[in-house]
Amino acid sequence: MEPRTSFPPPLLTALAQAQHVAVLTGAGISAESGIPTFRDAQTGLWARYDPQELATPWALRQNPGLVWSWYEWRRSLVRQAKPNPGHRALVELESLVPRFTLITQNVDGLHQAAGSHNVIELHGNIMRTRCADCGRPVTSWDPPPEGQAPACPHCRGVLRPDVVFFGEPLPTDALERALEAATQCEVMLVVGTSAVVEPAASLPRYALQAGATVVEVNPQETPLSPLVHYRLAEPAGRVLPALVRALKEHLAQLRGGR
């Protein structure tokens, strides 16, 4: 399929006039970098496990070694992954608008690797580790015996990735900043998220209530689709670079007085 070259003019105008653009991203934007979403079938050794049963405080208590090795596997995928044109288009978008907030549910750090500055990580970061017991961040530890999770060097508790498991609350500061951006932005792009996991799923709804123009970028329909102003039903890595190009042309025309 040829990349899209035209967008509704009112969408470009809304972006060009916005003082604050917010973007909410989910696993879909990193899919094109080779990081499987939780809802994709898992592959190889992990095919028989349901991620929604591994990424829980309960699983960590029952079987810390299993949870640790699953995250080791996911970290190995993240280490190999590189930002894709979708991530890079958002870096460029940040440079084009007066205020920009990127709220991500992803834990892979690819937005920062691409060069985005104002990033709010709602679900933590898989490359950081902390102790499940004393809570302290930890950067080095002794290798654990086969099949076990490493022990905290401070309290001998269990180490875990610094991510939000299913059933855990989000970091308060990140959530507050995300809510502020959602209710203050004039345009929100919602990219590559199934818009079902709360509280992130509610952010576009708050933006709509506050009067923002909301744009969904997702090849598949989601529960949010019927509510948004514009739907760009294409992969993020293709449509976001095209959108940013079109915005730059639109801004150049405005500056040229046409």
**Active site residues per annotation:** 123
Q: Does 124 bind ligand APR (CB under 6 A)?
A: no
CA quadruple 143, 144, 149, 150: dihedral, nearest 10: -50
SS3 of residue 125 by DSSP: strand
- 37 scored as a contact of ligand APR (CB under 6 A): yes
> d(Cα 180, Cα 193) in Å, to the nearest integer?
20
Q: Is residue 82 within the footprint of ligand APR (CB under 6 A)?
A: no
Whole-angstrom Cα distance, residue 184 to residue 187? Answer: 9
Nearest to ligand APR of 122, 149 (CB atom): 122
**DSSP letters for 182-207:** HHH-SEEEEES--S-STTGGGHHHHH
CB of 30 vs ligand APR, minimal distance in Å: 9
Q: Would you say 123 or 212 has its CB closer to ligand APR?
A: 123
123 binds ligand APR (CB under 6 A): yes
- Shortest separation between residue 249's beta carbon and ligand APR, angstroms: 23
Amino acid sitting at position 178? A
Q: According to CB under 6 A, which residues from 171 to 190 bind ligand APR? A: none
Using CB positions, name the residue nearest to ligand APR: 28
- Residue 248 is encoded by which pair of tokens? 């730059």
Strand partners, 190: 24, 216
- Rounded to an integer, what distance in angstroms lies between the CA atom of residue 182 and that of residue 232? 20
Among 7, 22, 28, 150, binds ligand APR (CB under 6 A): 28
Residue 127 sits in the site that holds ligand APR (CB under 6 A): no
Nearest in space to 132 (alpha carbons), one of 104, 165, 174: 165
**Is residue 77 near ligand APR by the rule CB under 6 A?**
no
Q: Does 33 bind ligand APR (CB under 6 A)?
A: no
Cβ-count burial 80-103 (b if 16+ within 10 Å, e if not): ebebbbbbbbbbbbbeebeebbbb
154 is a site residue for ligand APR (CB under 6 A): no
105 sits near ligand APR (criterion: CB under 6 A)? yes
Here's the x/- map for ligand APR, 217-236, by CB under 6 A: it reads as xxxx-x------------xx
Cβ closest to ligand APR, residue 69 vs residue 218:
218
Which residues bind to ligand APR, rule: CB under 6 A? 26-28, 31-32, 37-39, 105, 123, 192-194, 197, 217-220, 222, 235-237
